[in-house]
Structure 1
Amino acid sequence: MALLRLLLLPVLTLLLVASTAWADKPNKIRLTNGEWAPYQGQTLPDYGAASALVTKAFEAVGIEVEFGFFPWNRAMVEVERGAWDGTFMWVLTPERERVFLPSDPLFTLQEVVFYSHDNPIGAQKPEDLKGKVMGALDSSAFGRQFAPLIDDGSIYVARVRNNQQLFEMLAMGRVDFVPELKTSGYDAVLQHLSEEQRKRIAHLESLAYPWSYHLLVSRQIEDGPYLVDAFNRGMAIIRENGTFEQIIGPYIRPKAIN
């Protein structure tokens, strides 16, 4: 009996240490959010499809999510300095990977190039848009394929705070083209443009560009690595049980629009 107690003691000690460590881990995460329908938005059901996905992934591993809505620039800055724990849904760039802890990819979506029939374009490669004005969101990485042309001044960029301003500028001819996801781009068109303006907006598939999206967690918080790992585990769970497909499936494989 004494020998059995001696054998069990190390096992019980390890279990006690593990349970204590688990108890010390956070059961809540504070994430910055923003306006990017249909994926994110303060007035959307469940705060948008991406917000619902993130909530369910954390819920699957016992973590509650609190959202704070900010302009996109501020959403990143608040996480970078550790005032908020994380932010989503973002593509990875070398700078973001240096500043934040990225999750595994949530999903991949296709960026297309939007234009107006009032100012038609027929580009097959980025160089075909030399001399044009590109509209883009603050803090957005969309249009990466045009970066060399932007850097040498061959393409000009007009940046705005939200998709409403972006597509209004396109409809009014103040920019020549807009790189955006097909779903979120047409969502902005339907929500913010008049019926007559909508008829004039179209997109090119010839310059489609794939983007993988991630949760980004602050490197300034102690539990950052744990929260990224927990999120990755939660995503695996909801992929397995069908919740992932139910929430985001229609947006990953949208029906043709226009």
Structure 2
Amino acid sequence: MSFGLAVAGGLWAFHKLLPQKEAPHPKCLVILAHEDWPPYSYLDKDVPSGKSVALVSEIFRRIGIPVEFKCYPFSRALMLLQKGQADAVVDVSYATDRESLLFYTEAQRKANDCMKDALWLSEYVLFAKRTETKSLKFNSLQELIDKKSSIGVNKGYSYTKCLFDAGIKLREYATPELAFNALASGETDFYLLEKNIGIETVQKMGLQEEIAPVDGVVFSKPYMLVFARASQYPGLKRIMEAFYSELHNMRASGELANIMGRTPARDKLAKPQRPLIFVCEEWHPYEYIENGKVAGLDAELVSCIMARLGIPYKIEFYPWSRVVMLLEKGKADAVLSISYKENREKLLHYTEEQRLFAKNGHIPKDFLWLSEYVFFVKKKKLDTIEFSSYEKLKDDGWRIGINNDYSYSSEFPVHALLVAKKYASTEDGFRGLIADEIDLYPMDKIVGLATLREMGLQDSISYIPRILFSKPYLAPFSRFSDYPDIEGVMKRFYAELLRMRESGEYKELYDRHILPLLPRED
């Protein structure tokens, strides 16, 4: 691949932040970019492309400065900056030893305000052979030292200071391609690279069946456009001020997120040969089979979201124990209507907000629906059961039925109750009530009411109004899935779900599916 390929861009109109009487600049401002850092900056048919290139081009167009991008390996880009042969560089992070080379802003120097003048936030992860990633999770650098692991890194990259101070065995490579080839051949145990860039590069090299990212972020840091101290471009300080001012405006308006969230044609993941598989048990009114077709609130949500993502999918129904087994064996890609539990982390990808719910009780934004668990009971026993406390239920000898592999909640002391029987499904639990195998059956109120109606038992079984606990139900994706960039698909899935909630589409679907099931208030 030839180096130094360039494209000119920008308009000659002047922005109000620049002097109005100044003559148009006679030359393009030269910006250096990575030649192969998809999806941010790369060469596509010899044309500089990518999200960062698109964003920076748009900002300079608005402030009236013509620009020319030149793509090189990063080590050569640093050399050109030192020689004054370029005016700025895109997709570079802050490093103290680059202060003599680049004009960093005060915000870029401060860790607590670093995103103010940044383009995007990276997540650096370890890549390894796919056969090993299922059993691996990054926990600490010390663990890698103890195992005497070797890590591939790129020449000229700053990474993070703790990586170099840790004393880990590092192997340097000139480009990501060389590092991935070394990883595939067994020359190094791991390769450290920004996650999105690594996934794109692996797919471009055709190594997606051999190499995958290890779960767990090693570190994160912002990437920026920074101007060169050796630049002789006229009015560079005013241009810097205008650039960052427009960047702030675009961040505030949401334009920056839209541009950086878009996936250019080259960045799209290669379409897999199979649909993405969601698994679940039948839980009226959220997901169930009706007249041979998948129906329910979650089913409609998934249909809308996956259509917008352009991803084919299937929803398959099984008893809950088998759902868990399929996820563990990598036979399913995602699961509907499951809650967060710490011991499920080894099985499922959860978002940070979903994890925090277990600690602070704050409902995450990326939930499918919110549950309220109650005790269901035969109507003829409703007035005889005094539920003043769980201890009272046990002392009075009331028998409880629960479901296999349900996590319930820490607020619900299953261990302190008289658990008489475990059931494979909600229907089985209600049959147990009718058969007097048990006296009380805990279930989500809406699921219970919908199931009773389907079974024709609504006149025989009711519920105690006291709420046992409430929790959000989610759609996490499997860590054992071999679907391309499964965690990235999950993030895009939740982004669409949030848009549906904000637009009112979610409420329309929810009201249509749920409101008819709620008891009428007298």
Instruction: In structure 2, list runs of 5 or more residues that go unmatched.
Output: 1-18, 106-116, 264-350, 352-484, 490-522
> Is 1:101–1:228's contact at 8 Å kept on the other side of the alignment?
no
Deviates more, 1:119-128 or 1:45-54: 119-128
> Is 1:46–1:52's contact at 8 Å kept on the other side of the alignment?
no
Q: Could you say which residue in structure 2 is the equivalent of 1:23? A: 23
Q: Could you say which residue in structure 2 is the equivalent of 1:218? A: 228
> Is 2:152–2:190's contact at 8 Å kept on the other side of the alignment?
yes
- Check 1:83–1:157 CA distance in 2 against 1; reply closer, same or farther (3 A cut): same
Q: Could you say which residue in structure 1 is the equivalent of 2:33? A: 33
Whether 1:127 and 2:138 are equivalent positions in the alignment is no
**1:219-242 per-position Cα deviation (integer Å, ceiling 9, x unaligned):** 122443223212202312333454
**1:189-208 per-position Cα deviation (integer Å, ceiling 9, x unaligned):** 1111345314xx23121x43
Q: Could you say which residue in structure 1 is the equivalent of 2:456? A: none
- Check 1:118–1:30 CA distance in 2 against 1; reply closer, same or farther (3 A cut): same
TM-score, length-scaled by structure 1: 0.78
> Is 2:25–2:65's contact at 8 Å kept on the other side of the alignment?
no
Letter in 1 for 2:91: M
- Check 1:214–1:26 CA distance in 2 against 1; reply closer, same or farther (3 A cut): farther
Q: Could you say which residue in structure 1 is the equivalent of 2:75? A: 73
- For 1:69 and 1:99, locate their aligned partners in 2 and report how far apart those are by CA, in whole Å: 18
Q: Secondary structure at the match of 1:41?
A: strand
> Is 2:48–2:71's contact at 8 Å kept on the other side of the alignment?
no
Q: Could you say which residue in structure 1 is the equivalent of 2:9? A: none
- The percentage of aligned residue pairs carrying the same residue is 21
> Is 1:102–1:215's contact at 8 Å kept on the other side of the alignment?
no
Whether 1:163 and 2:180 are equivalent positions in the alignment is no
Instruction: Quote how far apart the aligned CAs of 1:99 are.
Output: 1.8
Q: Could you say which residue in structure 2 is the equivalent of 1:256? A: 487
- For 2:26 and 2:81, locate their aligned partners in 1 and report how far apart those are by CA, in whole Å: 17
- For 1:23 and 1:39, locate their aligned partners in 2 and report how far apart those are by CA, in whole Å: 33
C-alpha RMSD over aligned residues: 2.7
Q: Secondary structure at the match of 2:39?
A: coil
Instruction: Quote how far apart the aligned CAs of 1:102 are.
Output: 2.5
Instruction: In structure 1, list runs of 5 or more residues that go unmatched.
Output: 1-17
Q: Secondary structure at the match of 2:260?
A: helix
Instruction: Quote how far apart the aligned CAs of 1:244 are.
Output: 1.6
Greater per-residue helix proportion:
1
- For 2:203 and 2:90, locate their aligned partners in 1 and report how far apart those are by CA, in whole Å: 24
- Check 1:195–1:100 CA distance in 2 against 1; reply closer, same or farther (3 A cut): closer
Q: Secondary structure at the match of 1:105?
A: coil
Q: Could you say which residue in structure 1 is the equivalent of 2:213? A: 202
Aligned with residue 186 of structure 2, among 173, 179, 183? 173
> Is 1:138–1:160's contact at 8 Å kept on the other side of the alignment?
yes
> Is 2:32–2:88's contact at 8 Å kept on the other side of the alignment?
yes
Instruction: Quote how far apart the aligned CAs of 1:114 are.
Output: 1.9
Instruction: Quote how far apart the aligned CAs of 1:164 are.
Output: 1.7
Aligned with residue 228 of structure 1, among 232, 240, 258? 240
TM-score, length-scaled by structure 2: 0.41
Instruction: Quote how far apart the aligned CAs of 1:118 are.
Output: 4.5
